[in-house]
Chain A
Amino acid sequence: MLTEITLGQYYPGESVVHHLDPRTKILGVLFYMVMVFLANSPLSYGLLIAFLIAATALAKLPPGLLLKSIKPLWIIILLTLVLHFFTDPGEVLWHWKVFTITKEGIIMGIKMSLRLVLLLLVSSLMTFTTSPIVLTDGIESLLRPFKRVGVPAHELAMMMTIALRFIPTLLEETDRIMKAQMSRGADFSSGNIVQRAKNLLPILIPLFISSFRRADELALAMEARCYHGGEGRTRMHELVYQKRDGAAAFILVLLFAVLVFLRWGMPA
């Protein structure tokens, strides 16, 4: 049942992309997103797509796995496409009753949905190749400079790590409670919305109680092992930039330079 849901998209592997420093990947993804909005010609989009394909190949991800990440948002992408088709003003290509398709609309629609797809794919590429724990390590390390202005970097990262760690546990717990209440004749699939929401109480209440209990126990266990926050805490795996991180940064900067040139440097 619920335990069969796989959470987090991490796809374990031993590729160069997997071994990149999480900070490189996070910053790289942000940088790539900036570039997606910088691109304005078919050639620059082609370069961005080529980069993504190359990175996916380097990560040795099965083809199609990445494309699956579009699935939850395909309606929004389709809507973007269709809305632009029919609403943008410009040179009319096709007209029927109130529906008008313009050349500009088609171009704009394709451009916008392509941007969405690229944003989605590049962030999926990161989550596919970086385990959630490593990712939070990276976020913590990137947020550390902001500590001076009051961003609790370590605490945020610790909260994320704990939350991620307990998702499978809670799912298992939900599954067990559901089964127990079902064997007492609880019915979760009939009745109107109010009735159904009410029927969920026998699951939600025990789940809340056990979450509080777990939180309590965990806090106690952490305290017993002398956890006192991030101050002066060392880690087992220190994040260190490697040569490959430099190479990745170099490629991204190069791509950026080419895109800037394509946008502003080309004689009109």
Chain B
Amino acid sequence: MSIEVDHISYTYMAHTSLENKALEDVSFRVDKGEFVALIGHTGSGKSTLAEHLNGLLHPDEGCVRVDGVDLKGKDRAAKEARGKVGMVFQYPEHQLFAETIYEDIAFGPRNQGKSPEEVDAAVRSAMAFVDLDYDVFASRSPFQLSGGQMRRVAIAGVVAMEPDYLIMDEPSAGLDPVSRDNIFSQLMKIFHKRQMGVILITHSMEEAAQYADRLLVMSGGKLHLDGPARDIFTHDRETLEKLSMDVPESVKLADELRQQGLSLKGTPLTEAELIRAIERAKGWKAC
């Protein structure tokens, strides 16, 4: 059970003066139950890549398989395979359209051909996941909500389709820190409960390090690094630097502390890890 990306290339506006090679020979696989972060600068091809994963774009060369089925096909199996991959676009709240929150979240499940009871169950559970009280919000207009709430509704609209794989394109962009933490804690909850494969597209190294087991580093349409977050931030720092990408703040701070003579061990990916490492190095007891 996995998404396999097999040597894909894609060019926008091929054979014109505006030709733009967006992806070049990209290969990787993401298994169900894996949390992967796709990182890269603006224009590195990560959004284009994401659109290949649920068949919105088809590669010029190579193929994308979901659970072994090529997404390019026109048959039922290919359509079903595309349906297994949920996609949360950047600023998903801009796609809300229905009169009530219930109707908006039900849009996806209805299109899947679920029965009214199944739709209802899907909406309720999706709303629970994103911490929106069904009784309070279901009949409200999505346009009366705050930005963070609107985004949660939009995410619920994708979660309600019960995808096996979930792709999120910068789900925290433009949110305040509290809303951002909320979104991620909800995302982790869904991830653990449903054992989906999650691909998080981001350019925040902190988010990538904190949540993802594995990193995919893109630059200039090519996949440069693919490996566990800790390995990449420990061993591939030269490559990251060459691609002018950062490491998480906690790793940077650990470096500086080491230069000051503190014998820190390992690569602390998060603030909490850094604090523990300092405590250990100093011989303090955790309080």
User: Does A71 make an interface contact (CB < 8 A)?
Assistant: no
Given A177-B94, A184-B107: A4 touches B13 (CB 8 Å cut-off): yes
B89 adjacent to chain A (CB < 8 Å): yes
Partner of A206, one of B96, B108, B112, B157: B96
A 132-158 to B, binary, CB cutoff 8 A, 1 in contact else 0:
000000000000000000000000000
Q: Which residues of A contact B161 (CB under 8 A)?
A: 184-185
Q: Take A176-B89, A180-B87, A182-B56 as given contacts and tell me if A187 and B111 are in contact as well, using a CB distance cutoff of 8 Å.
A: yes
A181 with B112: CB separation less than 8 A: no
Contact B54 A183 (CB under 8 A): yes
Beta-carbon contact of B143 and A180 below 8 Å: no
Q: Quick check: B13 and A180 within 8 Å, CB to CB?
A: no
Residues in B neighbouring A183, C-beta threshold 8 A: 54, 56, 85-87, 89, 158
Contact A180 B95 (CB under 8 A): yes
Nearest residue in A to B83 (C-beta to C-beta)? A185
Q: Does A186 contact B (CB under 8 A)?
A: yes
Q: Compute how far the CA of A4 lies from the CA of B54 in the bound complex, rounded to whole angstroms.
A: 21
Residues in A neighbouring B51, C-beta threshold 8 A: 179
Name the B residues within 8 Å of A185 (CB-CB).
Answer: 83, 107-108, 111-112, 161
CB distance from B83 to the nearest CB of A (A): 7
Tell me whether A202 is interfacial, beta carbon within 8 Å: yes
Inter-chain contacts of A202 with B (CB < 8 A):
95, 97-98, 107
- Whether, in the assembled complex, B92 has its beta carbon less than 8 Å from a beta carbon of chain A, the answer is yes
Q: What are the interface flags for A1-31 relative to B under an 8 Å C-beta threshold, 1 for contact and 0 otherwise?
A: 0001000000000000000000000000000
B54 adjacent to A184 (CB under 8 Å): no
Q: Which of the four size classes fits the interface of chain A?
A: 20 to 34
Q: Is the CB of A181 within 8 A of B95?
A: yes
Measured between alpha carbons, how far is A186 from B112 in the docked complex, in Å? 9
Query: Once the chains are docked, how many angstroms separate the CA of A205 from the CA of B89?
Result: 17
Interface residues of B in 88-129 (CB under 8 A from A): 89, 92, 94-98, 107-108, 111-112
Nearest chain A residue, comparing its CB with the CB of B97: A205
For residue A12, give the distance in angstroms from its CB to the closest CB of chain B. Answer: 11
Min CB gap B60→A, angstroms? 14
* Cα–Cα distance between A163 and B97 once the two chains are bound (Å): 24
Q: What's the nearest-Cβ distance from chain B to residue A27, in Å?
A: 32
Q: Render A166-192 as a binary contact track against B, CB cut-off 8 A, 1 for contact.
A: 000000010011011111111100000
Task: Specify which chain A residues have a CB less than 8 angstroms from the CB of B12 in the assembled complex.
Answer: 4
Are A177 and B111 in contact, with the CB atoms below 8 A? no
CA distance A182 to B107 in the complex (A): 11
A197 to chain B, nearest CB (A): 14
- Residues of chain B within 8 A of A181, CB atoms compared: 95, 107
Q: Does any Cβ of B come within 8 Å of A210's Cβ?
A: yes
B95 CB contact (under 8 Å) in A177, A187, A201: A177
Report the tally of A-B residue pairs with Cβ distances under 8 A. Answer: 53
Contact with A along B38-66 (1 / 0, CB 8 A): 00000000000001001010000000000
Q: Any chain B CB within 8 A of the CB of A266?
A: no
CB distance from A171 to the nearest CB of B (A): 14
In whole angstroms, what is the CA distance A186 to B97 when docked? 13
Q: Which residues of B sit under 8 angstroms from A201, Cβ to Cβ? A: 97
Inter-subunit contact B97/A184 (CB<8 Å): no
Task: Kindly state whether residue A209 has any CB partner on chain B within 8 Å.
Answer: yes
Q: Closest Cβ of chain B: how far from A238's Cβ, in Å?
A: 32
Residues of A within 8 A of B87 (CB): 180, 183
Partner of B94, one of A4, A182, A210: A210
In the complex where A4-B13, A206-B97, A210-B94 touch, is A180 in contact with B89 (Cβ < 8 A)?
yes
Which residue of A179, A184, A187 is within 8 Å of B158 (Cβ)? A184
20 extra A-B contacts, CB within 8 A, seeds A176-B89, A184-B158, A206-B96: A4-B13, A176-B94, A177-B95, A179-B89, A180-B89, A181-B95, A181-B107, A182-B56, A183-B54, A183-B56, A183-B85, A183-B86, A184-B107, A184-B108, A184-B161, A185-B83, A185-B108, A185-B111, A185-B112, A202-B97
11 of the cross-chain contacts (CB-CB < 8 Å) are: A173-B94, A180-B87, A181-B95, A182-B56, A183-B56, A183-B89, A184-B111, A185-B107, A186-B107, A202-B95, A202-B107
| B residues in contact (CB < 8 Å) with A | 12-13, 51, 54, 56, 83, 85-87, 89, 92, 94-98, 107-108, 111-112, 143, 157-158, 161
